[in-house]
Amino acid sequence: MPSDLRGVADDVRGFLPDDEADALREAAGEHLRPGGVAVEIGSYCGKSAVHLGHVARLRGARLVTIDHHRGSEEQQSGWEYHDTSLVGTDGRMETLPFLRETLARAGLEDVVDVVVARSPDVASWWGRELDLVFVDGGHTDEHAQADYDGWARWVRPGGALVIHDVFPDPADGGQAPYRIYRRALEDGFAEVGHTGSLRVLRR
């Protein structure tokens, strides 16, 4: 990844350590095909979109990043990951302007398609197979299971399902992503990569 682009990603607020970012780019490089599409669930301010978007450009593919931009549960007022600088004039979380700024700085606006909506709503009308799905949205069971229900079925044979924040030990983090990871294995996905809390599974 070029140093200037990595510098943009490093400056963006987010929760993706460098080793996991490297693993995410590697997974995208292995699975994205020319003309193919990757979907990212959970844009936040765009850190992972820079990494995925960079690979999409190299591969002649596209990235669709989906988020309602009102923040997940743990980012609301009074919770651990609340950031007051991301609160809009109406008092609600509003991360869309930060994502747009990130993509502009990274020069990726022509590669990354931004969808402002709830993930299951988009999945309900989606109609084409995907090379890669990156699940990094809401971390409650309700939202993680809905993301899996909506998007795992669109991963093509040989494509990748990448799940972030997978913690087998409850002492390390919430269990909803771990539960969909276990569900994916039961559904026939095979684990092909494990870096930190990032799991890469292939259909």
Round the average pLDDT of the chain to a whole number and report it. 92
Per-residue pLDDT tens over the stretch 166-181: 999 998 888 999 999 9
- Catalytic (active-site) positions: 139
Return the CATH number at 119: 3.40.50.150
Total tally of structural domains belonging to the chain: 1
What average pLDDT does this structure show over 118-143? 95
Structural domain boundaries, residue 196: 3-202
What average pLDDT does this structure show over 179-194? 98
Ramachandran area for residue 134 (φ above 0: left; ψ -120 to 50: alpha; else beta): beta
Res 65 pLDDT > 70: yes
pTM of this prediction?
A: 0.91
